Structure 1
Amino acid sequence: MAKWGEGDPRWIVEEREDATNVNNWHWKESNATNWSKDKLNELLLHFELKSPDESLVTKIIEFDKLDGEATANNRKGKLIFFYEWDLLLKWEGKILTDEGEQKIKGKVAVPNLSEENSIDEIEITVTVDDSNDQSEVLKAFMYNYGRDKIREQLNKYITALKSDYAKETKLILPKKDASQTENKIPPINELHTTSNKSVINASSTVAAKKDEQIGVKIDCKTLILEEKFQCKSNELWDCFSKVELLSAFTKSDAKLNFEKNGEFILFGGNIVGRFTEIIPNKRISQTWRYSGWPTGHFSNVQLDFEEKEDHTLLQLKQTLIPSNEYESTNINWQRYYFDSIRATFGFGSFLF
């Protein structure tokens, strides 16, 4: 047994007048919920996005939902953070057309902002209140460009929680033998979350991406096609959902993450996009672009599968196709998708 006065210095508290948490050894918890709500309002409310030519402008106008909590803890000199938020943001935007300025409204949902996910894993969905050609342009702008910018704002909140809040609340106290030195907060990359994921490193990757020019003002058309295949709907579905079958009929390496928000790369990178909706054996919706299109311009593709008595009907609707690419896009769907699927898997053609 240690002699009186020779015990573990981490437990010695009598030398401090306040007698509290010497050397930051004991657990200390601070409720960061209200601070977090103020910070999220500061970072997201009235946050504005513009295309390079300013023909597209969107702005977050209010929170429809701001539910969750956040805590910061200090144990043995280490900071540990817990946060979980469910956000629903209302946005409004405008688009310049030949008919003048059109105003659009919609919502952005962030259902699970938490320390369990790195910043690039956070799910963000974009919707519009009324769907039409103009609103779909702004929706694509928010989806392909706005989501990354919103992630950057959310990462600023996470960074501030782990640095500014810790300083403001003095979660790290001066050590008993360091009264003359500055009370320093550990570097951000040394802070801990329950998942041990480096949010800062992930966000650096996002921030390092070169901004693309989005929202080029171009004339667009909508393509609607119907094709019949002599097969079951699940067999045709597999052609679009399984990477080995995609590679077979496109005759090139395909990269496919077949889930909502998952990305795909086809024809050696000539076609890229992201899945926005998947209803098994019924519907696939995706953003879709050809590499030769104006930088940052995406179309929206919807594929509907309907099984009939002796065949499967595939209905395709593609919006926001640049007008000068309309005919080639139509021909290429027929040649490199539909005809190639029939030739590769023997699904046959109908003559009526």
Structure 2
Amino acid sequence: MVVVNANNWHWVDKNCIDWAQTYFSNNLTSLTAATTTGNESVKITSIDKLKGDVEVCQRKGKLISLFDLVLNINFETDEKEKGSINVPEIAYDTEPDEYQFQINFNNQSSTKNDLYRSLIKEKLIPQLREKLSMFGTDLITSQGSDILIDNDQVTSKYTAELTSQSIKSQNQKPVVKSKTTLNKSSSSTTTSTTKSKTGDKTTSFKLNPSTFQTTQEQLFDTLTQPQYVSMWTRSKAEIQPVENTPFKLLDGLITGTITKLKPVETVEMNWRLSNWKENQYLKLKMNLSKGSDGGETILNVSFEDCPSDDEGIVRGRWEDWLFGIRFSFGGIV
């Protein structure tokens, strides 16, 4: 890529999605994990799907990376059982400890799925998390040089200094931030722990109320109409605001049934991730009410019978979605 950009002043961007595909193939397909006995093992075999946007940008001497990706990885066990690991969001502003991983087995009836799932969570996912945390830095290092003019050709001391600072900061290794009162999840704590019909431990919890600068009618439509749901999930949504009808989100990673609708007030669903056991659903309830200001609507979201191991995934996904809806109307999430 040839750049004609006096003093590195003007905005330049570079599409790097093809590079990202090669990067993940080279850096992830060599990862393996094994039990302490060595009798069971799992290895990453290929990148099944990479969708989204990846760009390196420069203006006024500053290099930045912007990316928002969905990654699907194939794996295989020592017994030749196959499956996939879905990472629903890899974004430029995501902390390494916030990455979420959804594990799916092609053969849902295998008796050793639980063993391999534990192995993946304990030994393979930490490796994936470390590799993903370096993506932004490696992206800048590999793809940023050809959208910058060399500093010895920059006559502006201001942009030359910005360029040097930008390169230096991008070469620093990302650090996993500890949760503080400023960056903790806004969700309430889990309210109870029980066992589901499948015998798995489940939890019930709710998110803190969210206030939106819009009417109940508009927010209700945003939560139930396919054209709006597609916007805040950032994927095609197969859903209709009709009771007892199925829905599918994120290419089938999330499915369920709308069980109850009370226009402008209530939405209830049976909701599941694709890697959960057959017929295992959580109960999702969304209640809408008027705020103290006539132009505000308050949304309360609660969950029942969520598998304990996946509470963080469900909670994080809905927090991200609510944050996205916020920008449609404004308000406090």
TM-score for the superposition, normalised by structure 1: 0.47
Question: Which structure has the bigger radius of gyration?
Answer: 1
